């Protein structure tokens, strides 16, 4: 395969990756469905403990307790906390005790959400675009 064509393909893949990452059952999609800009962290209850899944740098979150009653913290404060895919929405803050209210009374998932004005890091779209430009410049530089 032509080296320049390969470089353009790789740059394009890096540039569009964040778009595909924000779809489906991701923390971003769950938060955006409830009117928030993006997800901070996604915790799930597995094998008798809370396990951190997707998360972004710049925030520290913690979830403890059981499926019936969970306590969470977020620093900096989350704008909102969703349980069970958005079945319950709680105002953020630095900590709160939540109780499960789904069909079996359990909390299976907790997602922390934030709004754009509280972004503590550079956007992944900017990073992807910068990577695409850098690869393009290297691939098409004149000798």
Where helices occur in the chain by DSSP H, the ranges are 3-21, 27-33, 124-139
Residue 21's pLDDT is 44
Token duo for residue 83: 């349980």
Q: What's the pLDDT score for residue 11?
A: 52
Residue 31 has pLDDT above 90, yes or no: yes
C-alpha radius of gyration, the chain, whole number: 19
User: What pLDDT does 128 receive?
Assistant: 74
* Whether pLDDT at 122 is above 80: no
What pLDDT is attached to residue 22? 42
Residues 8, 132 contacting (CB under 8 angstroms): no
What mean pLDDT is predicted for residues 17-24? 46
DSSP code at position 26: S
Instruction: Report residue 62's pLDDT band, with 50, 70 and 90 as the boundaries.
Output: very high
CA angle, 139 as apex, 137 and 143 as ends, to 5°? 90
Q: Of 65 and 117, which is predicted with more confidence?
A: 65
Say how far apart CA 26 and CA 54 lie, in whole Å.
Answer: 8
pLDDT at 118 exceeding the cut of 50: no
Check residues 44 and 11 and name the one with the higher pLDDT: 44
- pLDDT of residue 77 exceeding 80, the answer is yes
pLDDT interval class at 5 (50, 70, 90):
low
H helix count then E strand count, the chain: 3, 8
């Amino acid at each position: 395969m032509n080296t320049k064509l390969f470089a353009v393909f790789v740059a394009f893949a890096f540039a569009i990756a964040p778009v595909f990452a924000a779809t489906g059952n991701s923390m971003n999609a769950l938060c955006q469905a409830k009117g928030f800009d993006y997800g901070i962290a996604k915790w799930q209850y597995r094998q008798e403990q809370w396990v951190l899944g997707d998360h972004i740098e710049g925030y520290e979150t913690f979830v403890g307790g059981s499926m019936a009653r969970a306590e969470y913290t977020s620093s900096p404060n989350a704008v909102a906390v969703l349980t069970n895919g958005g079945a319950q929405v709680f105002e953020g803050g630095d900590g709160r005790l939540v109780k499960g209210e789904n069909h079996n009374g359990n909390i299976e998932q907790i997602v922390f959400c934030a709004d754009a004005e509280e972004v503590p890091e550079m956007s992944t779209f900017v990073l992807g675009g910068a990577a695409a430009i850098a690869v393009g410049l290297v691939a098409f530089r004149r000798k």
